């Protein structure tokens, strides 16, 4: 199982290049995309074979027969680490049960890359894959994780992202979130916000989006307002401008959005 670049070809490892160059068969979701990847990496595959969610079950015995005959197969996804919301689980499980060695060649992974750079709690976290298509099924999925204190990570498409985040707000409450898109590419972007104050132009979002939702945090509750007021007062005494105050306070008041801090600052000045 070979991890391939998310976008930047420079992220391929030397070990991955060696394995892909020497394998007899490459299993890929999309053989055309795999062919372009190999071309960009400057290597030539001996043979490609498609393996996706619709044909995986039927491919298992064909692939295993090749391996048992002495073949060396590599499994890749369209980008990143195989099996992370991609096909291959049933093949890997069958190989394990059949005593066939399954060797991971680690590397790029959008889940880990997005989580590490999001600024949200990196662990514990749970990866949900792609949410279901129907709204009531998405709601049911989030309810399963409603009371679990873990960061949630999942993939979503741009035409569904707004609806999915709205359902997340209804079920999970006003948590912090991060949208990571175009990872390792030229237009890489991290969009940070809170579910109860989303300012999102979904039409301009391209590609698959990695969504991160932080666990429930009491940072924005009424009982902590006094602590945030003290932080604001200290910043104002230092002569910081409103924008600088917001930036500084957000470092220490997790769960508070910029708008909420501005509003509280305005209230404090009015009541002074």
The separation between CA 41 and the C-alpha centre of its own chain, rounded to angstroms, equals 25
pLDDT single digits (tens) 63-84? 999 999 999 999 999 999 999 9
Provide the pLDDT for residue 22: 94
Q: Quote the pLDDT of residue 227.
A: 82
Q: Where are the beta strands (DSSP E) in 109-160?
A: 125-127, 151-156
pLDDT attached to residue 249: 86
Q: How far is residue 143 from each of residues 120, 163, 174, 225, measured CA to CA in Å?
A: 21, 16, 14, 28
Contact 111, 153 (CB under 8 A): yes
Mean pLDDT of 27-43: 94
Looking at residue 222, its pLDDT comes to 40
In the prediction, which pLDDT does 9 show? 92
pLDDT single digits (tens) 145-173: 988 999 999 999 988 999 999 999 989 98
Position with higher pLDDT, 228 vs 165: 165
3-state helix, strand, coil in the chain (%, to 5): 45, 15, 40
Whole-number pLDDT of residue 223: 39
What pLDDT is attached to residue 248? 86
- Give 79-116 pLDDT, tens digit per residue: 999 999 999 999 999 999 999 999 999 999 999 999 99
**pLDDT at residue 166, as a whole number:** 93
183-217 pLDDT tens trace: 999 989 999 999 988 877 777 787 789 999 999 86
Mean pLDDT in the chain? 91
pLDDT at 215: 92
Tell me what pLDDT residue 254 has: 63
**pLDDT at residue 2 above 50?**
yes
CA distances from 17 to 36, 154, 179, 269 (A): 15, 28, 30, 61
pLDDT of residue 217: 65
Q: Is the pLDDT of residue 47 over 80?
A: yes
Supply the pLDDT for residue 260: 82
Contact between 56 and 32 (Cβ < 8 Å): no
Q: How high is the pLDDT of residue 257?
A: 74
Give the pLDDT score at 35.
94
pLDDT at 219 over 70: no
Q: How many CB atoms lie within 10 A of CB 1?
A: 20
| Position 220 confidence tier, pLDDT thresholds 50, 70, 90 | very low
């Amino acid at each position: 199982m070979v991890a391939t670049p998310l976008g930047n070809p420079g992220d391929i490892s030397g070990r991955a290049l060696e394995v892909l160059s020497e394998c007899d068969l490459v299993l890929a979701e999309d053989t055309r995309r795999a062919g372009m990847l190999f071309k960009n990496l400057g290597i030539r595959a001996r043979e490609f074979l498609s393996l996706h969610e619709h044909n995986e079950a039927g491919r298992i015995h064909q692939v295993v027969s090749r391996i048992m005959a002495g073949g060396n197969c590599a499994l890749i996804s369209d980008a990143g680490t195989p099996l992370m919301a991609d096909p291959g689980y049933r093949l890997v499980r069958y190989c394990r049960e059949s005593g066939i060695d399954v060797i991971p060649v680690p590397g790029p992974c959008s889940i880990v890359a997005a989580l590490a750079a999001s600024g949200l709690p990196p662990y514990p976290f749970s990866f949900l894959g792609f949410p279901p298509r129907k709204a009531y099924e998405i709601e049911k999925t989030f309810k399963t994780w409603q009371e679990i204190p873990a960061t949630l990570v999942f993939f979503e498409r741009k035409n569904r992202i707004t609806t999915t985040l709205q359902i997340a707000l209804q079920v999970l409450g006003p948590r912090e979130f991060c949208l990571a898109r175009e990872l390792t590419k030229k237009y890489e972007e991290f969009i940070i916000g809170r579910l109860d104050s989303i300012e999102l132009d979904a039409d301009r979002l391209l590609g698959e989006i990695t969504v991160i939702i932080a666990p429930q945090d009491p940072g924005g509750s009424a009982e902590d307002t006094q602590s945030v007021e003290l932080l604001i007062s200290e910043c104002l005494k230092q002569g910081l401008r409103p924008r600088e105050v917001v930036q500084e306070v957000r470092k220490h008041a997790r769960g508070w959005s910029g708008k909420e801090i501005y509003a509280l600052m305005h209230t404090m000045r009015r009541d002074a």
